[in-house]
Amino acid sequence: MSNAFLHPTVVALGMLGLAMLGGSAIQYTFLRGLAKRHAAQWHHAGKPTIWTDQSVLSAWPTVRYLQRQAYRASGDAAGIAFCRRYRMPMVIGYWSTVAAFAALLLSLFTVGWPTAWS
């Protein structure tokens, strides 16, 4: 195994990949469950889908909805419980992706690519 895989930029790139993979899996599970099992809550949230929330920027309204607990105003007890259950995983997944992206940029600008990859 080459030392290039221990390079800070490669580690940051791997962290970003893992954060995106984990966050996307949580997001997909949440959005699918919300739309299929809690239609009233889904409408209250603005009818988000995996296609409308496919980037960090476009997912922000859904994450903000959960982060600020706006779901509590819907009046749908089952939907509120569903949102409460997914709130922390969704918020952590989102901000982990943002932090990993920032770490990758920081590493790229301070350390650069591994010399073996150039």
Is residue 1 scored above 60 in pLDDT? no
10 or 53, greater pLDDT: 10
Give pTM, 2 decimals: 0.88
Token pair, residue 96, equals 């982990």
Tens digit of each residue's pLDDT (9 = 90 or more) over 15-61 = 999 999 999 999 999 999 999 999 999 999 999 998 888 888 899 99
Rounded to the nearest integer, the mean pLDDT of the chain is: 93
Token pair, residue 93, equals 């997944």
4 or 43, greater pLDDT: 43
C-alpha R_g of the chain: 18
